[in-house]
Amino acid sequence: MTVAEPKILIVDDDANLLESLSLRLRHEGYDVLTAMDGCRGLVRAQMESPDLLILDIHMPLGDGFSIQEGLQRMTGPWPPVIYLTGDKSLRSDLTAKKLGPIAVIHKPFDKDQFLDIVRRALVSSPGDKSAARSDQATPRDCAPSTGRCDGVGIGSSSEP
């Protein structure tokens, strides 16, 4: 009997970082999924039921906060979250910490420390995805022109 590789969804609008992290995590044996904006990230999270979410805080079509909040409203139990951010403001850190992530990692970051945080997140929070909705979103539910994804507004919750 083989054990499935942990599935990690990375959502970041920086294509180079997305590719770099994907390659590194795949090399470590993880099944890696990606999305480049908040709307597609939310839909992909619903469709794929990842074991861990790695979310950029500031992105087009929804920030990392709105993805986590959207999943919490729609799917019941949700995977642990690691936030990535280039924003050094206290406001972003405070908003992130209210949502209960495993970690908030500031860019640029040490790749080895990043891997340690990922490993700890997967061990300490395996997640129970048994309560996921049966009417999960499909890619056509992502409507970037309206800023809505499967009936949930995807905005920037970090905006004033």
Enumerate domains of the chain plus CATH numbers: 7-128+137-153 (3.40.50.2300)
> Mind giving me the DSSP string for 59-108?
-TTS-HHHHHHHHHHHHSS---EEEEES---HHHHHHHHHT--SEEEESS
pLDDT per residue as tens, the chain (160 positions): 566 799 999 999 999 999 999 999 999 999 999 999 888 988 898 889 899 999 988 887 777 777 877 777 765 667 899 989 887 777 777 767 777 788 888 889 999 999 999 999 998 754 444 333 333 333 334 444 444 555 444 444 433 3
pLDDT attached to residue 125: 58
pTM for this model (two decimals): 0.75
Residue 2 confidence (pLDDT): 60
